[in-house]
């Protein structure tokens, strides 16, 4: 991931302003440690901090069209750039960068070209011919982006809050799937897929269509000129990503440069569920597996850095971001610059355990739509910023535009969780890859029960965070919480502790407003309570809120039904907390 910063129409062309823009851009250097660039045209500044993944030698930014009248600074990857180049035969490209097509597409199609891009991206494009500009963010919000306004009427754009929070009168998250046009003077949504209206789809489920769509989504993300690997927790989503990648790696240009053996990475407390499952999957697939261990104290020590980088005080996001933050640092130390990850599947297929309580297919579908639309505030934010903190890029094939269209067109009746019929959560995805002749994964991995990431790395992780927060937040502080934090008032000591740290880094009111909802009860838990009032007794936003649903163990030899369905045995209690005490962050390969 790169870092972009733009200041547009600031009425200040002085050297002092240029120095200030450079200073702010350096706050994003962690996102792009490989090179930096700044282009100034009058009172407009476009800055870039580059993480070189495609064409490391010549793809420095900002990028230009032939006569340099159009300037672009981009964060992201355009997976269909080669096809787009072929559609522009009369244009000359200066670099091999995948992002080089953007300026030329604008020349040909004007502002309406954004939907032609297949990838994850945030960009600012300046047309010096009329001093106009456009800003756009990818469909789901995989890349992070913020917009701000100065007192002088200037528009500010930054990959992270820290690039603009000190210099703007107001700022906010740039909405995914939107475009800002200076000519139109505002935002408009360019991403308008059929599912966005939340109308109930009716396409029958075809497992082979779903399988091909996801394989294509993974394969296109093997486009790289640098070493890469896969994040492997041992759960369904990351395991499928690893399996498909391992199958298709040999035919890619990356394999010619870096070899055909896939590297996989997992993080957890000693003895955690994820470490065990990931090792089994890695052995099955034959990957070069790297197992990272951390202790509860390691994670607690990193909390301040994590909040500074991920720019949120949301409890669930911080819990899950911390292990990923620590893992990303270790991955980068091995010389790897890109990883493929499994975010998005649970939102698309209703994989969270509270979906067991969905009363009908209409409610099920509407909730998946809501979850996808909110991804940029939670899992996308976590994956993007936790990895970008160390100059590591995370790619997410489940959030491929074409794959989402296929998956969200399926009649949601097929996605419903029906225990009596042998259908667990994400059954349609599991069934699509349940290939008896050429298995993608062992059966018990393919049908492994869902774990929240912050639970899967080790159950004592959350308990350690709560205990630490209790030492630093008193009952008196909680009593006055609404006076101190009237917006999104924290209702637990853990939430209060994170909020104190966030406010120290980002004390502005617009900053705290970029974080959605309340901190103590996640939106998913609120929906679960609506579907089943008995869940209101458990306000913890982790996966452990799903009491009576969590399926923590499998039969040694689970019976395979005639249709290939498997159902693990159900227990009524949450898995026991594991006592863990591994000293220091260690690595096993």
Q: What is the CATH number of the domain that holds 334?
A: 3.40.50.620
Structural domain contains residue 572: no
Task: Indicate whether 236 and 144 sit together in one domain.
Answer: no
pLDDT of residue 454: 53
Task: Indicate whether 181 and 229 sit together in one domain.
Answer: no
- From first to last of the 589 residues of the chain, give the pLDDT tens digit: 799 999 999 989 999 999 999 999 999 999 999 999 999 999 999 999 999 999 888 878 999 999 999 999 999 999 999 999 999 999 999 898 999 999 999 999 999 999 999 999 999 999 999 999 999 999 999 999 999 999 999 999 999 999 999 999 999 999 999 999 999 989 999 999 999 999 999 999 999 999 999 999 999 999 999 999 999 999 999 999 999 999 999 877 777 777 788 999 999 999 998 899 999 999 999 999 999 999 999 999 999 999 999 999 999 999 999 999 999 999 999 999 999 999 999 999 999 888 989 999 999 999 999 999 999 999 999 999 999 999 999 999 999 999 999 999 999 999 999 988 989 999 999 999 999 999 999 998 999 876 655 566 777 999 999 999 999 999 999 999 999 999 999 999 999 999 999 999 999 999 999 999 753 345 566 777 788 777 666 656 555 544 455 543 333 333 333 344 433 332 233 332 222 233 334 334 3
Structural domain contains residue 479: yes
Cβ neighbours around 102 below 10 Å, total: 28
Name the catalytic one among 2, 10, 99, 369. 2
Long-range pairs of 79-87 with CB within 8 A, sequence gap ≥ 24:
79/118, 79/119, 79/220, 79/221, 79/223, 80/117, 80/118, 80/119, 80/220, 84/116, 84/117
Task: Indicate whether 160 and 308 sit together in one domain.
Answer: no
Structural domain contains residue 197: no
137-168 burial: b if 16+ Cβ within 10 Å, else e: bbbbbbbbbbbbebeeebbbbbbbbbbbbebb
Domain count, the chain: 2
- Could you tell me which residues are beta bridge partners of residue 48? 4, 37
> Under a CB-based contact definition with an 8 Å cutoff, are residues 313 and 495 in contact?
yes
pLDDT digits (tens, 9 = 90+) for 468-512: 999 999 999 999 999 999 999 999 999 999 999 999 999 999 999
pLDDT digits (tens, 9 = 90+) for 523-548: 566 777 788 777 666 656 555 544 45
Task: Indicate whether 319 and 399 sit together in one domain.
Answer: yes
Task: Indicate whether 145 and 238 sit together in one domain.
Answer: no
Q: What is the CATH number of the domain that holds 19?
A: 3.60.20.10
Distance between CA 12 and CA 40 in Å, rounded? 11
Distance between CA 241 and CA 397 in Å, rounded? 8
Task: Indicate whether 235 and 384 sit together in one domain.
Answer: yes
Task: Indicate whether 175 and 258 sit together in one domain.
Answer: no
Which of 192, 227, 253 terminates a domain? The answer is 192
Structural domain contains residue 577: no
Q: Residues with Cβ < 8 Å from 435, sequence gap 6 or more?
A: none
440-458 burial: b if 16+ Cβ within 10 Å, else e: bbebbbbbbbbbbbbbbbb
Structural domain contains residue 576: no
- Whether 2 is a known active-site residue: answer yes
Task: Indicate whether 11 and 128 sit together in one domain.
Answer: yes
Task: Indicate whether 367 and 305 sit together in one domain.
Answer: yes
Structural domain contains residue 440: yes
Domain span including residue 33 = 3-192
The two most distant CA atoms of the chain are separated, in Å, by: 74
Structural domain contains residue 127: yes
Which of 192, 216, 251 terminates a domain? The answer is 192
Structural domain contains residue 574: no
Q: Is this model's pTM higher than 0.75 or not?
A: yes
Task: Indicate whether 164 and 215 sit together in one domain.
Answer: no
pLDDT of residue 251: 75
Task: Indicate whether 133 and 246 sit together in one domain.
Answer: no
Element (H, E) at 332: helix 315-333
Task: Indicate whether 422 and 525 sit together in one domain.
Answer: yes
- CA quadruple 512, 515, 516, 519: dihedral sign: negative
């Amino acid at each position: 991931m790169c870092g972009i910063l733009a200041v547009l129409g600031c009425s200040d062309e002085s050297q002092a302003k240029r120095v200030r823009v450079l200073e702010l851009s350096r706050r994003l250097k962690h996102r792009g440690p490989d090179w930096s660039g700044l282009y100034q045209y009058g009172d407009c500044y476009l800055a870039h901090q580059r993480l070189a993944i495609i064409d490391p030698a010549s793809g420095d930014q900002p990028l230009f069209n032939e006569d340099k009248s159009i300037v672009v600074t981009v964060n992201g990857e355009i997976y269909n750039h080669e096809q787009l180049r072929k559609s522009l035969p009369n244009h000359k490209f200066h670099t091999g960068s995948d992002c080089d097509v953007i300026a030329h597409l604008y020349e040909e199609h004007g502002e309406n070209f954004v939907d032609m891009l297949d990838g994850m991206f945030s960009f600012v494009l300046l047309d010096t011919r009329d001093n106009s500009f456009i800003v756009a963010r990818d469909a789901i919000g995989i890349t992070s982006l913020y917009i701000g306004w100065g007192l002088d009427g200037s528009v500010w754009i930054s990959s992270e809050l820290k690039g603009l929070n000190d210099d703007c009168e107001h700022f906010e998250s740039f909405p995914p799937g939107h475009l800002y046009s200076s000519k139109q003077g505002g935002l408009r949504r360019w991403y308008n897929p059929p599912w966005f209206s939340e109308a109930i789809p009716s396409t029958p489920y075809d497992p082979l269509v779903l399988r091909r769509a996801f394989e294509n989504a993974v394969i296109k993300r093997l486009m790289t000129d640098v070493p890469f690997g896969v994040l492997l927790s041992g759960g369904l989503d990351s395991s499928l990503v690893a399996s498909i990648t391992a199958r298709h790696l040999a035919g890619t240009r990356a394999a010619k440069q870096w070899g055909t053996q896939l590297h996989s990475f997992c993080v957890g407390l000693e003895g955690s569920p994820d470490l065990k499952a990931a090792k089994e999957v890695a052995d099955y697939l034959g990957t070069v597996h790297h197992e990272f261990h951390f202790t509860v104290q390691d994670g607690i020590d990193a909390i301040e850095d994590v909040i500074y980088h991920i720019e949120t005080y949301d409890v669930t996001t911080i819990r899950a971001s911390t292990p990923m933050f620590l893992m990303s640092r270790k991955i980068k130390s091995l010389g790897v610059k890109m990883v493929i990850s499994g975010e998005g599947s649970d939102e698309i297929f209703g994989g969270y355990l509270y979906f067991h309580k969905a009363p009908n297919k209409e409610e099920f579908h509407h909730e998946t739509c809501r979850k996808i639309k909110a991804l940029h505030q939670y899992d996308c934010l976590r994956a993007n910023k936790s990895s970008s903190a160390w100059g590591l890029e995370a790619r997410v094939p489940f959030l491929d535009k074409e794959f989402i269209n296929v998956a969200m067109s399926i009649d949601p009746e097929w996605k419903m969780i029906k225990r009596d019929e042998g259908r667990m959560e994400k059954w349609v995805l599991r069934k699509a890859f349940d290939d008896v002749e050429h298995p993608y994964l062992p059966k018990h991995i393919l049908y492994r029960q869902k774990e929240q990431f912050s639970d899967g790395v080790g159950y004592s992780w959350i308990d350690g965070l709560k205990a630490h927060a209790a030492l630093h937040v008193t009952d008196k502080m909680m009593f006055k919480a609404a006076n101190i934090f009237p917006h999104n008032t924290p209702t637990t000591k853990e939430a209060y502790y994170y909020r104190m740290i966030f406010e120290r880094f980002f004390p502005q009111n617009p900053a705290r407003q970029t974080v959605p909802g309340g901190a103590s009860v996640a939106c998913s838990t609120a929906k679960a309570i609506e579907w089943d009032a008995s869940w209101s007794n458990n306000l913890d936003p982790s996966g452990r809120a799903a009491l009576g649903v969590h399926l923590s163990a499998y039969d040694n030899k689970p019976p395979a039904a005639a249709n290939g369905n498997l159902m693990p045995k159900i227990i009524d209690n949450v898995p026991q907390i594991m006592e863990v005490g591994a000293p220091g962050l260690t690595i096993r390969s």
